[in-house]
Structure 1
Amino acid sequence: MTEERENFPVDVLFVGAGPSNLSAALHLVKLIDKHNESIDKGEKQGQKLDEVAIALIEKGAEIGSHAFSGAVLDPVALKKLVPDFKEKECPLESEVTTDAVYYLTPKGRKFKLPITPPPLQNHGNYVISLSKFTRWLGNLIEETEKVDIFPGFAGVELLYEDNKIVGVCTGDKGIDADGSKKSNFEPGYDITAKVTVLGDGPRGNLTKKLFKKFNSQSKMLPLLYETGVKEVLEMPEGKVTPGMVIHTMGYPLKKDTFGGTFIYGMSNNMLSIGLVVACDYHDPLMDPHLELQKLKTHPFIKDVIDGGKPVYYGGKTLAAGGYYSIPQLAYDGCLVVGDAAGLLNAQRLKGIHLAMLSGIEAAETIFQCLVSDDFSEKNLAAYAKKVKEGPIGQELKKVRNFHQAMSKGLYKGMFHAGLQFITKGRGLKDPMLVGEDYENLQSVKLYYGLQGPPKDQGLKFDNVFLMDKLTDVYNSGTKHEEKQPSHLIIHDPEICAEKCIPRYDAPCTRFCPAQVYELETNEATNEKFIKVNFSNCVHCKTCDLKDPYENITWNCPEGGGGPEYSVT
């Protein structure tokens, strides 16, 4: 970056406006206010923290526009952060009213579990829209007038002094596709801070580089992921029971593929239906979006969503490796929170409350560092200790081998998961070791054998009930400035042409839930190549972690680009 960049110094910088950083910023303001009030009243000795400069940057065009989840919220963290959340009109769709779990068969049958497994019991939880929820948290922060919030600013690189993190540089705006400056060019900023809090989500572009620089992945297990896709349907009047929660297993996923589906009843005649697939699957032809469409054809599901019109869509990865995958969380001048830290309970399919708790823990550690004016790794390590030994770690330790067990397939996985439930997470082997997600993909020839893959199953997209990818991408509101360099980098096209396409039949055209990658043929040479439609990207980052040759890198596009989630 040769362009002279303006320096914007702050004390505390939050990168990413997800539940973790929003909770951290709000809690930190409250701690500082309480500290100052106590000193004013003579209840506490010490120096006031009168002018703490706090900033939060978010790559989305506004708070909530990139927030995507199922979502059912365990309110444990919300009650701690905002005890009067109902009086403050928290946008809860509904308290959970009913729970049910079904096993679906390929022949259209269903079997309801007589008892909902304890991890999937949701009494006392709430169905929410995460995009609405994060906007609400953002509004609470804005009301304090003590945090500068900058949506549309993407953090693209960490700033270092030796090995100390001293801030983030934001991306330039107004760069043409060839790298030249357009008339509206604006250089990014160097935002320097005493402490930088990275909440850039699963497979975050900044945390990925941070972990690599310091070799700070867990010594036990790598961060492991799942890909979730979801549609929100507009239903006929009276068809939806708000607070209804249904989970299913079995069809449409194969027995060697871990995943499941969810249906949540929302308010205003809206219903969300989604499918989650563990990214350690073997099938090179796996297409999560296609599997979601297949799900909708099952007689049971078709009856539940009959008359519904898909109006919103989205996709996201979930860091689901669990306790043994948690990386180093504290550095000299930096903390990692939420999804970026892999804090998700895969057994419960819940992570929002853990992300919020991590933000609260981060705020309490940062507050102590502000008082002592010491932001060294030694001081900030108190946060990592709280995460591992406190409520977050206690919850994750009980399910520490769940994702790894389910990677063995549905039936073996259920057996191991049952033993783990009895032994509080241990099971037969502790830890259960698995490799990176991309290492598990098998070639078409190996997976399907001599008979080859099955023929077309006759699924016809009508874009009224069964949606093709491009129509669903339209429903996600995804927009990018198309005259900019692609934020999706295929490092070596020859690997695609000579290795990946012949061996795996271009898996990126399927594991991407947004039709970013297309297989095309050069008419002159008859060679196949991958065309990248980066403007379709919903920022799920599946391509960055599932490509079998690690040949794709996801970077932040120009700030403000991406999906425009509002009800997801």
Structure 2
Amino acid sequence: MSTAGSSTTAANGAHLSPLTGLPGADRTARIGRVGGVNLNASGVEREEFEVDVLFVGAGAASLASAITLQRLAQAKGQELSILILEKAEDIGYHTLSGAVMDPRAMQELFPDFLEQGCPVESEVTFDCVDVLFAGGGKFRLKGALVPPQFKNHGNYIVSLYKVVRWLKDQAEELGIDIYAGFAASEVLYDGDRVVGVQTRDSGLAKDGSQKGNFEPGMNVKARATVFAEGTRGSLTKGLISKLGLDAGKNPQIWETGIKEIWSIPEERGKQMLGSVIHTALHPLGTRGYGGGWIYGQKDNKLSIGFVVGLDHPDAKLDPHALFVQWKQHPALAELLEGGKIERYGAKTIPGGGYYSLPRTYGDGFMLIGDCAGFVNMARLKGIHLAMKSGMLAAEALIDALAADDTSAGKLKRYEELVEGSWIKAELWGVRNFRQAFAEGFFAGSIDAGLQMITGGRGLKARRGVHPDYQYTERIDKSLLTKPTFDDGLSLDKLTDVYHSGAVHEEDQPSHLVITDPDICVTRCTEEFGNPCQNFCPAAVYEWTERSAKDGVMINASNCVHCKTCDVADPYQVIEWTVPEGGGGPKYIDM
């Protein structure tokens, strides 16, 4: 039974869509009454719900796309049922970015976005690059010496959480249904055609048995499904593999970014408002790709963070430890003195650029935003690209829906629109940037300079790259060391995780799956020293004296959903899947 476009009216006269209007258990019960019933191969009855367009993920890309689609539909007199599913407990809780926003896409979507109240912390008033030295010194590049990609005048410092919350309000005003707390766990196929998603069961115990509050996930069917899961989306990963969407493309390469929000003394906070400072060199030196940021926000707050490429060769690579060492440099320590931490978070960032973009369309589906890789790593920016990709996807989709044809042949229009847009122009200009640094810091820096002269080409017409995990060297070649921790500036992982607000139902099957545990206690121990205990920024993977026999202890409740483990594991036996809907960090104001 299809319920596309169905609705009801509450006792107070308010309009309610089939998936909104009732909190908690009541709204779950409401979902159970819409749609038909499907008895799948496992014998579990699942409710079915049908919409015209389903968006998986409620970030900036999907919200911009849904808003554009609904506007186009209304202009054409079309009535569409549009649904956005989000795995977080509330919209924005899993949204994390630096963030300095290039306003180009936002201005196209809302020309008067500032007048309409889009939240920004400050327009950028000052930018520079600080080269930090291990001995404690620094050299500042400012004015004409700032590399072009780090010039930020005309951009805005934002909390992406706040921006996404504002976009959510604009979408709901247009009648778009947005539903948080529902984690999409499987792609539904008809042959190779995507027909929707299945949401994750809730109320399962650790052993997989059903508890008293068991609720089976539901099948949400759609004429078109738009994947906007964010970085390293688990469904997107499977979709790319199943349909060979990355054929002929460079493998995607990744960075992990660690972020904290700090409150600092008022006088210093006022001086920093509107400032954008990027840092280079320390603590990575010349052995890896990465750097730091410091952004001055309202209310005497700083957004600070450190990004490191996961193609770093050291088996003891620990992004969180590097972040702590970075904060211990006098330039950071003096800035944070007398302040206190407010929030913590981590996420992976797709850095491969143009040559790592998979095919972004197929029968019944599209990929937009970070899950497709629309990020300019040279500028450390992706919000504007993510939003624009969603807006272009909506332009292609409206024509496909009108023709009742959401085949790959029809949705190819999306790729054509991207190729003719400023997305292509921007990414083409840095098409070889990140790959060049896989050959080392100095080689990458030289080639990056040549790329600015040659329109993005550099020394090679097209640079190849390997998956990040293939660069990891044996443990006996490790040079990285751990910092010392304290209760002030240098917080350990568990203390930082507390500041992420991460909460998961403890009694549920682990959403972190090791597909071959034997490798962990044999080959990985000997060859790489079990790097999961290092690269995870949330202390999820713990090795004890019993681990040689029983294997790694997985503290899944610590997980901040960064996906570093899924990327960096040298044997690719760690699979990140979605936990029960609503679980994870709470990146409020991040």
TM over 0.5: yes
* Cα distance in 2 between the residues matched to 1:475 and 1:12: 36
Q: Is 1:119 paired with 2:119?
A: no
- Specify the alignment match of 1:194 in structure 2: 223
- Specify the alignment match of 2:169 in structure 1: 139
Aligned-residue offset at 1:32: 1.4
* Cα distance in 2 between the residues matched to 1:365 and 1:212: 24
1:123-522 to 2 correspondence within 5 Å? 123-144=153-174, 146-240=175-269, 241-445=272-476, 447-448=477-478, 453=479, 459-522=483-546
- Specify the alignment match of 2:54 in structure 1: 13
Q: Is 1:103 paired with 2:131?
A: yes
Q: Deviations over 1:279-330 (max 9, x none)?
A: 1110111111011111111111212222221110000001110000010111
- State whether residues 249 and 358 of structure 2, in contact with CA within 8 Å, keep that contact through their aligned partners in structure 1: no
Q: Deviations over 1:406-443 (max 9, x none)?
A: 22222221101000110011011121111111101001
- State whether residues 543 and 554 of structure 1, in contact with CA within 8 Å, keep that contact through their aligned partners in structure 2: yes
- State whether residues 218 and 326 of structure 1, in contact with CA within 8 Å, keep that contact through their aligned partners in structure 2: no
- State whether residues 181 and 581 of structure 2, in contact with CA within 8 Å, keep that contact through their aligned partners in structure 1: yes
- Structure 2, unmatched stretches of 5+, are 1-41
The amino acid of 1:467's aligned partner reads: L
- Specify the alignment match of 2:5 in structure 1: none
Aligned-residue offset at 1:124: 0.5
The amino acid of 2:335's aligned partner reads: V
Aligned-residue offset at 1:254: 3.2
The amino acid of 1:90's aligned partner reads: C
The amino acid of 1:565's aligned partner reads: Y
- State whether residues 520 and 528 of structure 1, in contact with CA within 8 Å, keep that contact through their aligned partners in structure 2: no
Aligned-residue offset at 1:504: 1.0
* Cα distance in 2 between the residues matched to 1:303 and 1:309: 13
* Cα distance in 1 between the residues matched to 2:450 and 2:160: 33
SS of equivalent residue, structure 1 residue 375? coil
Aligned-residue offset at 1:370: 1.9
SS of equivalent residue, structure 1 residue 209? helix
Aligned-residue offset at 1:255: 1.0
SS of equivalent residue, structure 2 residue 522? helix
The amino acid of 2:220's aligned partner reads: I
- State whether residues 519 and 528 of structure 1, in contact with CA within 8 Å, keep that contact through their aligned partners in structure 2: no
SS of equivalent residue, structure 1 residue 265? strand
- Specify the alignment match of 1:549 in structure 2: 571
* Cα distance in 2 between the residues matched to 1:475 and 1:214: 39
Q: Deviations over 1:346-391 (max 9, x none)?
A: 0000000000000100111111112212111111000012123321
SS of equivalent residue, structure 1 residue 407? helix
Which 10-residue stretch deviates more, 489-498 or 474-483?
A: 489-498
Q: Figure out how many residues of one structure are paired with residues of the other and give that number.
A: 545
- Specify the alignment match of 1:69 in structure 2: 97
- Specify the alignment match of 1:40 in structure 2: none
* Cα distance in 2 between the residues matched to 1:302 and 1:105: 14
Aligned-residue offset at 1:218: 4.6
Normalised by the size of structure 1, how large is the TM-score? 0.94
- State whether residues 328 and 489 of structure 2, in contact with CA within 8 Å, keep that contact through their aligned partners in structure 1: no
SS of equivalent residue, structure 2 residue 501? coil
- State whether residues 401 and 427 of structure 1, in contact with CA within 8 Å, keep that contact through their aligned partners in structure 2: yes
SS of equivalent residue, structure 1 residue 193? strand
- State whether residues 278 and 291 of structure 2, in contact with CA within 8 Å, keep that contact through their aligned partners in structure 1: yes
- Specify the alignment match of 1:84 in structure 2: 112
Equivalent pairs: percent with the same residue? 47
Aligned-residue offset at 1:203: 1.2
Deviating beyond 6 angstroms after TM superposition, the runs of 4 or more aligned structure 1 residues are none
Aligned-residue offset at 1:460: 3.0
Aligned-residue offset at 1:220: 3.2
The amino acid of 1:63's aligned partner reads: I
SS of equivalent residue, structure 2 residue 320? helix
Aligned-residue offset at 1:336: 0.4
- State whether residues 257 and 306 of structure 2, in contact with CA within 8 Å, keep that contact through their aligned partners in structure 1: yes
* Cα distance in 2 between the residues matched to 1:398 and 1:503: 39
Change (3 A) 1:194 1:54: same
- State whether residues 59 and 151 of structure 1, in contact with CA within 8 Å, keep that contact through their aligned partners in structure 2: yes
- State whether residues 195 and 375 of structure 1, in contact with CA within 8 Å, keep that contact through their aligned partners in structure 2: yes
The amino acid of 1:14's aligned partner reads: F
- Specify the alignment match of 1:534 in structure 2: 556
- State whether residues 333 and 489 of structure 2, in contact with CA within 8 Å, keep that contact through their aligned partners in structure 1: no
* Cα distance in 2 between the residues matched to 1:223 and 1:194: 29
The amino acid of 2:55's aligned partner reads: F
Q: Deviations over 1:179-219 (max 9, x none)?
A: 11111111111000000000111211111111111111151
- State whether residues 521 and 529 of structure 1, in contact with CA within 8 Å, keep that contact through their aligned partners in structure 2: no
1:50-61 to 2 correspondence within 5 Å? 50=79, 52-61=80-89
Aligned-residue offset at 1:528: 6.9
* Cα distance in 2 between the residues matched to 1:546 and 1:460: 24
The amino acid of 2:312's aligned partner reads: Y
SS of equivalent residue, structure 2 residue 219? strand
The amino acid of 1:416's aligned partner reads: D
The amino acid of 1:407's aligned partner reads: A
* Cα distance in 1 between the residues matched to 2:104 and 2:172: 23
Q: CA RMSD in A?
A: 1.3
Which 10-residue stretch deviates more, 405-414 or 10-19?
A: 405-414
* Cα distance in 1 between the residues matched to 2:267 and 2:123: 18
